[in-house]
Structure 1
Amino acid sequence: MWGCVCSAGLVRGVVRRCRGTAPVGRVARAARGSADCSGAVVVLFVPGERDRLTGEAPTVREAFEQAPVPLCACSGPEHRVVAVNAAYRAAAVRQELVGSTVDELYPEARFQEILAVFDRVYATGVAESKKAWRMQLTTDEGLQEFFFDFTVTPWFDTGRESAGFICSIDEVSEQVRERREAEERAAEAEARYARARSTLAALQQALLPADLPLLPGVDLDARYVLAEVDTAAGGDWYDAVVLSEGRVALVAGDVVGHGVKASAVMGQLRAVVQERLRAGCGPAEAMNALDRHARHVPGAEAATCCIAVLVPATGALTYAGAGHPAPLIIDADGTAEYLPATGQGPLATGATYTDHTGRLPPGATLLHYSDGIVERPGTTPESGRKDLARIASLAAQNLLMPRDSPTSTSRRVVEQTLEVLLRESGHSDDVTVLAAHRTAVPRELEVVLPADPSGARQVQAELGQWLLGLNCTEDDESQLQHAVVELVTNAAEHAYVHVTGVAGLTGPGREESAGGQARDVTVRGYLDTDGSVVIEVADRGRWQDVPHQDPFRGRGLAMARTFTDSLTVDRAESGTTVRLRKRLSHPVTLTASRPAAARPADLTVTEDLDVPGLLTVTGRLDAVSAERFTGDLTTHTRGGTRPLTVDLSGVTHLASAGVRVLHRTHDLLVRNDRTLTLYAPPGSVADNVLDLAGLPHTTRPPHRTG
């Protein structure tokens, strides 16, 4: 018996395309085909061997119908559905499927690339599988989103020509949504964990010194590295406490454990050490006081600490230890030796502490450290101590990584020692290192300048180079330059007013005053033993307060006072001296060495051609450039009749002369019912000066096209 079923090749048989009228009794016409079966796909089942291998047609069809996996068979390049099983019909939105093309059944999928998959399988005869394929299909509830796993397998006619494909499909929308929800929950948990770590890290940073003092005769640097565990806080600490008589106390400590509790205990112990040292206690006396306090602090038992007081001028060293490793001394020739251990136990264990002495020679480096760097995984404490001495010595001599290495010996020792020792073995405990390199006392600054606007520019360059040698931060350098430039400008305008004309404005050069004295200004500076830079600006004239009708003059002294810690004015018959002080420090985490100070750029003013009324100002806006800047603003405001926006983000120096120009322009535009909008990024030079001057401005960038 011959049978015919459009099973899309699921049943093995002889497959061919009918090209005319089929033989009566030998071929059953396809259910959908016309009388001549043109283009219909039929499967012929030959009795005998074929039935024995594949099963009889009714059985095979029933197995196809009851298969648990949704199956759909399509024929021809138009992908016309010729067979679907019960599982597919149950999952399908539409029930009348056979005879329609995929494009007719699912027009909304036309641009969702699934037809491209069917085309490729039909054209190449190569199966393709997709996972979690997102599609949007129309249901009774409107357009809905689904996810499918599916495999598209080709089937062929007897001539091995592509006849169509079989698609097995499984909707996985629920699984995908559950997985995404789980991923979102995991991401949220990870974000909470990251926020918690960030909070702990902020706590740790608040409890440790954010910077170290810049002191004459000693260069300091430090690092703190957290343990490689799920914590962002620990009990290690370091400190550099500036004391009287040019001394500095170098402290390292370690509280047992990790986490918030250890950090809290550490903060208490560090505060006690600072207070006792500043009260005049020596290392042992401070340690005994710390011990008494630790006995009443839960979690402080068995904490360790080492306090070393250094006199940079002589190298004299006094230290006391409470169960903490003694410092390492690296001589200028690279010889590395540990100071003798104190032999006294940790805090709150009943020990009594005494002072020990040593010396730090010129060019030598003292290295405080915690045991995390010598007790690394896979190393013994003894081998770890040897490794530390060897690597730190090589770093001090600049033999480890000499190319582009830091010029500061203390920074080089800290950075390179940690990198080399921790990069292979890692570390299971917190690591703290504090280095003190004994250096020569930095030279003092002395510059004699003409009492005119050119002197202000000259002093900024000279002062910048001197401050660069002190290794101060860019913020400190900028603030000191602003302050000193204002003081020099003031001296030029007020010190020699008794001479005909205003001396500071009659031209450059060391012109003689009426008394035969040179009209000049002297700037002197030095780094004091308390870590403050002291700068004096002195003239030899007799100050007179020149009455100014300009309400925007007279702000220079106020600006200078804002940028410093203290400012005093000493007026005498021989001249006026203004003295300012500012504490210098550098952050513990340092960036690469800055290049030599470059000559400040001249002022440039450009108009945005795409945004009328928007000016961009870069460079120095000072007494020299203020007159030209006045002309630029007059031109671009058309004499005060046109509103203007000025972008000051590129201004590297904004002197009081520039502030006056901005004030005048602002008032001129207001009188004409126009506005002057000044933009200065938060924390920029212009932002700080405009705040002080009381000039309205915005920190929101101006709109630009493009």
Structure 2
Amino acid sequence: MKPRNGTVGAGQDLRAAVAESTEPAPPLDQATGAAEVVREVFDQLPVMVVAWEGPEHVAVAANEAYRKYVGRPGFIGSPWSEVMPEVRGQQFFEILDKVYTTGQTQVGSEWRFQIRRDDTDRLHEIFVDFTVSPRLGPEGQIVGSTCFVTDVTDRVHERHEAALRTEYAQERYEAVHDVVVELQRALLSMDLPVMPTAHVAARYLVAAQDQAAGGDWFDAIVLDNGQLALVVGDVVGHGVAASAAMGQLRAVLEELLRTETELETVLERLDAYAEHSPSMRAATVAVVVLDPETGKAVYGRCGHPAPLVVGEDGSVRHLDAASGGPLGTGAPRQLAHTTIGPGEVVLMYSDGLVERSGHSLDEGVAELAHVAADAVTNRTMPVGASAVVVDRVAEITMELMTRLGHEDDVTVLVLQRLAQPVPGLELRLTATRDSLHQVNAAFGAWLAGFGASPADRFALELSVTEAVTNVIEHAYPPGRPGPLTVTGAVLPTGGVSVRVVDEGRWRSPDPASTTGGRGLLLMTQVVDEAEVIHPPQSAGSPEGSRGTTVVLRHHAHREAVMASGRGLVVDDLDDDRPATDFEVVGREDDDGPVVSLRGIVDLDTAERARAALLGASRGGVRSLTVDLTAVTQLASAGVRSLFEVREQLAANRKDLVLIAEPGSAPAVVLELVSLPYHHPARTRPTPA
């Protein structure tokens, strides 16, 4: 069974040794020991070992450690594609093929796989280190391969958990990043539009070579006419010069897309601009302008790889009808039109995703098409995969296509035209304290459903909490709650609109109050627009007009993912505690009482927080430190409690010290209401 392409590397050395040897081989029992002893030693090896034979990779040997790990009896004599069919599409069979055909040993470190470990269909996610080496026959020909495997799942999880749970892990991560990576992040827009008829995702992986920033860029721009422009481009070279050229081209192209009505004119003017700069000449770009409502699209390519369109059934077509040379070269170009059907996915990418040493670009594109189809249909590594198709496609294609290494930047931009628009939110409740939790849970789930960024979720959730709290506290007489309606919609131009409506009577805030009236302030500061609408004053209604509508508008985004090094990006670990839980933990240190608040501090929990703080300070006669680092939302009711506690302490000439992580949800609110706070690293900060 000679391989098609011969052998290289270790195989050549062994064959040469066999050919040149003139001495007869020693008897088997003298060279390796008795067969039963060899088998016993092999079976007791602590490392997992399995051997395959032939181009179908038929299993011919496996030691006990491997057999126990796989948990599938009777696989000897079977092709590995039948033994572990779930591994197809995870790039391992390709490794076996390469070892068998070339004789080159292949090594993998911390590769993620999803496999069955028993007779059930349940998939388990594992990480392994492996080495696959060629197996040689008596005459030096390759007859199969041998694989040595070490499960490193626990090691990977422990490392990720340690990094994510360490108090200042993110700060340290940013500190060790090369400055050019941060430059790349600044030049690229990591915000992707939120639209009712389309989902968009993007990932960017910095070049592995010296971690040097490069010239790749992507954009997803909502135009004034409601169309969506998708862009992926690539400037030749790496480093600051390439990044600067990329930033200029990206800015010029965005302006042209917003001001010109024809894509042909846009590309002509971009080509003319690039012609006058050596750093921009020969840059490539692909642009797709899509009407998300109808699916009609026009696209152009300037020396850039053709986008792929993947159907919900995994079918793939290439948008290669448009043609043209790189920018600044004067090459002619031709636009093309297509229609993106409901549910179809558009995948745009830079050539760094499909470049492979020893393989043509056509082979890389074919592999990408296969990987993308599996990702759309969720056939590859489905355990823990995102339910949002574009996120799943971006993650899987980036990980699988780069796990063998990459030298250039890698960019992936994915769009799915939704078969059904993002549903609106409509809640009709009675304005009680219990309704606040119902609104928070439903509204948070709605935002998560279309992937609103954490920053946008914070702004919108806080604003809705404030509007609903105002209805509960002020719209209706005590003990006689009335209707509360909360509706939300994703806007065609990108962004979110929310309306909170009651049928009570508006009462202006008490100007004498020193602790209230901050809800409207918070709303106007954290969202783009916050408007309070009252019906006209009716005759005979001295108490005020009936019914109030709070309208919130915010240009929400989805977040792109940027990484350096390996393509695998592990999401942040979720706290095991539900977001709605509230907890108070007190302790004493050398400077006095310290109270840690955890969870949501809103209308329902603020009084508990206030009572705990006053209790710890013995009614305001002891200085108090309040740790807010574990607070996930600080609403105006919680702010009011902090002001009340501070006033009580000040009356007794005692101090209130607030601790919060800069940039966190409570820190943002404290800054808005001018309550000073300090970093948790400080031992004893200045009082509030």
Change (3 A) 1:550 1:525: same
- Structure 2 counterpart of 1:378, from 345, 351, 358: 358
CA contact (8 A) 1:377 1:427 kept: no
- Structure 1 counterpart of 2:479, from 498, 506, 518: 506
| Alpha-carbon distance in structure 1 between the residues aligned to 2:432 and 2:365 | 60
The Cα shift of 1:197 comes to: 7.3
Write the letter of the residue equivalent to 1:625.
Answer: T
The Cα shift of 1:460 comes to: 0.9
The Cα shift of 1:389 comes to: 1.6
Alignment root-mean-square deviation, CA: 2.6
Unaligned ranges ≥5, structure 1 = 1-193, 497-502, 512-518
Which residue is equivalent to 2:432?
A: 452
| Alpha-carbon distance in structure 1 between the residues aligned to 2:395 and 2:510 | 57
| Alpha-carbon distance in structure 2 between the residues aligned to 1:552 and 1:463 | 27
Change (3 A) 1:420 1:454: closer
Determine whether 1:616 maps to 2:596: yes
Determine whether 1:420 maps to 2:400: yes
Which residue is equivalent to 1:41?
A: none
- Structure 2 counterpart of 1:581, from 537, 549, 553: 553
Change (3 A) 1:539 1:428: same
- Structure 2 counterpart of 1:532, from 482, 495, 499: 495
CA contact (8 A) 1:234 1:263 kept: yes
Matches within 5 A, 1:185-584: 198-230=178-210, 232-424=212-404, 426-439=405-418, 440-496=420-476, 503=477, 505-506=478-479, 511=481, 519-547=482-510, 549-573=512-536, 575-584=547-556
Which residue is equivalent to 2:43?
A: none
Which residue is equivalent to 2:584?
A: 605
| Alpha-carbon distance in structure 1 between the residues aligned to 2:463 and 2:584 | 25
Query: Which one has a bigger Cα radius of gyration?
Result: 1
Structure 1, residues 598-645: CA drift from partner, whole Å, max 9, x if none?
754443333215554222222332222333333333332223222221
Determine whether 1:669 maps to 2:649: yes
Q: Match of 1:540, SS?
A: strand
The Cα shift of 1:685 comes to: 2.4
| Alpha-carbon distance in structure 1 between the residues aligned to 2:442 and 2:575 | 12
Change (3 A) 1:389 1:449: same
Determine whether 1:700 maps to 2:661: no
Q: Match of 1:541, SS?
A: strand
Aligned length: 493
Which residue is equivalent to 1:51?
A: none
Which residue is equivalent to 2:161?
A: none
| Alpha-carbon distance in structure 2 between the residues aligned to 1:656 and 1:213 | 30
Q: Match of 1:464, SS?
A: helix
Q: Match of 1:673, SS?
A: coil
Write the letter of the residue equivalent to 1:476.
Answer: D
Write the letter of the residue equivalent to 1:200.
Answer: V
CA contact (8 A) 2:500 2:551 kept: yes
Write the letter of the residue equivalent to 1:506.
Answer: G
Write the letter of the residue equivalent to 1:433.
Answer: V
Change (3 A) 1:322 1:454: same
Structure 1, residues 164-199: CA drift from partner, whole Å, max 9, x if none?
xxxxxxxxxxxxxxxxxxxxxxxxxxxxxx999712
The Cα shift of 1:307 comes to: 0.8
Q: Match of 1:633, SS?
A: helix
Write the letter of the residue equivalent to 1:222.
Answer: A
Change (3 A) 1:678 1:260: closer
Change (3 A) 1:679 1:343: closer
CA contact (8 A) 2:437 2:580 kept: no
| Alpha-carbon distance in structure 2 between the residues aligned to 1:414 and 1:436 | 10
Change (3 A) 1:539 1:412: same
Change (3 A) 1:628 1:359: same
| Alpha-carbon distance in structure 1 between the residues aligned to 2:433 and 2:674 | 24
| Alpha-carbon distance in structure 2 between the residues aligned to 1:229 and 1:627 | 56
CA contact (8 A) 1:453 1:492 kept: yes
Write the letter of the residue equivalent to 1:688.
Answer: V
CA contact (8 A) 1:494 1:545 kept: no
Structure 1, residues 88-128: CA drift from partner, whole Å, max 9, x if none?
xxxxxxxxxxxxxxxxxxxxxxxxxxxxxxxxxxxxxxxxx
Structure 1, residues 59-112: CA drift from partner, whole Å, max 9, x if none?
xxxxxxxxxxxxxxxxxxxxxxxxxxxxxxxxxxxxxxxxxxxxxxxxxxxxxx
The Cα shift of 1:558 comes to: 0.6
CA contact (8 A) 2:323 2:335 kept: no
Q: Match of 2:515, SS?
A: coil
Write the letter of the residue equivalent to 1:537.
Answer: V
Moved more, 267-276 or 352-361: 352-361
Change (3 A) 1:642 1:246: same
CA contact (8 A) 2:282 2:327 kept: yes
Output the TM-score relative to the length of structure 1: 0.66
| Alpha-carbon distance in structure 2 between the residues aligned to 1:215 and 1:238 | 18
CA contact (8 A) 2:624 2:655 kept: yes
| Alpha-carbon distance in structure 1 between the residues aligned to 2:298 and 2:327 | 19
Q: Match of 1:204, SS?
A: helix
| Alpha-carbon distance in structure 2 between the residues aligned to 1:275 and 1:482 | 34
CA contact (8 A) 1:647 1:702 kept: no
CA contact (8 A) 2:286 2:301 kept: yes
Q: Match of 2:403, SS?
A: helix
Write the letter of the residue equivalent to 1:580.
Answer: L
Structure 1, residues 128-152: CA drift from partner, whole Å, max 9, x if none?
xxxxxxxxxxxxxxxxxxxxxxxxx
| Alpha-carbon distance in structure 2 between the residues aligned to 1:404 and 1:324 | 33
- Structure 2 counterpart of 1:648, from 604, 614, 628: 628
Moved more, 195-204 or 641-650: 195-204
Structure 1, residues 371-428: CA drift from partner, whole Å, max 9, x if none?
233332111122222222222212211112222222222222222223323323x334
The Cα shift of 1:674 comes to: 1.2
Q: Match of 1:376, SS?
A: coil
Unaligned ranges ≥5, structure 2 = 1-173, 537-545, 562-568
CA contact (8 A) 1:464 1:597 kept: no
The Cα shift of 1:591 comes to: 5.0
| Alpha-carbon distance in structure 2 between the residues aligned to 1:451 and 1:684 | 29
Write the letter of the residue equivalent to 2:381.
Answer: M
The Cα shift of 1:468 comes to: 1.5
Change (3 A) 1:454 1:406: closer
The Cα shift of 1:597 comes to: 11
Structure 1, residues 29-61: CA drift from partner, whole Å, max 9, x if none?
xxxxxxxxxxxxxxxxxxxxxxxxxxxxxxxxx
Write the letter of the residue equivalent to 1:560.
Answer: M
Change (3 A) 1:285 1:221: same
Q: Match of 1:613, SS?
A: strand
CA contact (8 A) 1:366 1:435 kept: yes
The Cα shift of 1:325 comes to: 2.1
